[in-house]
Amino acid sequence: MRFLQKFIFLAVGLMYLTVIQSTVSANGTEFLNTLQELEKNGVIPWSEGKITAYGSFTDSYTNMGSAKFYSITEADHYVLSSKIFWLSASTTPNSAVSGCGYIFSSGSNANDYLTTTIRMNGYIYFNGYKNGNKLSYGQQYIMTPSMQGEGLLTLVVNNSSVSIYFNGEQLFTRNDVVISGDKLGFAVLSGTNKDYGTQCTFEDIFLYTWQDQTQ
């Protein structure tokens, strides 16, 4: 609990950088299959949406117990998916606060946002923050703790409904999420002050967006 409290405190000041959209030739078949499955299961509505491919993005961060965030775009209804590779410069970092993932539904107040992150302690966390106060939406143990690894993280946001998948397995679905805005992007969490800290690589980044059919 102390580690989480420290993370919350230090992560309040968000650092937004722009990730330049790129044209890529990455195979999006797997993502299309994911969208079809989500539509089939009623997670997303049938709609004429737009798919954007962002290619890949890599960065690292060194600041024990804190996080660095990158905004890539704004959307209200979307599916964001990427294959994430994580690596720590230390063999003994604070694994509970080391990892990679997404920041989303953030607004003009830097203290209001949501995150889902793969941590090196083997858990995936789904948290919200309102005025700097933590809102815990769940955590799930999904793998053996590892300072280096990879996995496919998929995020679905439709109004106040949020679903999260890891390697195709549904981990969380919440319909009571506090939405503060429409910014979304990447999160790098550092659990060590050694060398480059935590390195996160996001590959085959795909974003599917659609218009709200109820409006």
CB-side exposure of 163: number of CA atoms within 13 Å?
Answer: 15
Write down the pLDDT at residue 156: 97
Residue 213: pLDDT band with limits 50, 70, 90? low
Residue 149 contacts by C-beta under 8 Å, 6 or more apart in sequence?
Answer: 85, 86, 118, 120, 143
Residue 214: pLDDT band with limits 50, 70, 90? low
Pair of tokens at residue 70: 């990158």
Q: Which helix (DSSP H) or strand (DSSP E) does residue 8 occupy?
A: helix 2-10
Residue 110 pLDDT > 50: yes
Mean pLDDT of the chain: 86
Residue-wise pLDDT tens digits, 143-171: 999 999 999 999 999 988 999 999 999 99
Q: Which helix (DSSP H) or strand (DSSP E) does residue 2 occupy?
A: helix 2-10
Beta strands 113-119; 99-106: pairing state = antiparallel
Q: Please state, in angstroms and rounded to a whole number, the distance separating the CA atoms of residues 175 and 19.
A: 29
Q: Please state, in angstroms and rounded to a whole number, the distance separating the CA atoms of residues 212 and 67.
A: 32
Residue 104 pLDDT > 60: yes
According to CATH, the superfamily of the domain at 2-209 is: Exo-inulinase; domain 1 (2.60.120.560)
Write down the pLDDT at residue 27: 55
Residue 201: CB atoms within 10 Å: 17
* Domain-wise residue ranges, the chain: 2-209
Residue-wise pLDDT tens digits, 65-101: 999 999 999 999 999 999 999 999 999 999 999 999 9
Residue 174: pLDDT band with limits 50, 70, 90? very high
Average pLDDT over residues 181-193: 96
Pair of tokens at residue 172: 């969380």
Pair of tokens at residue 122: 């083997």
Indicate the pTM of the whole model.
0.86
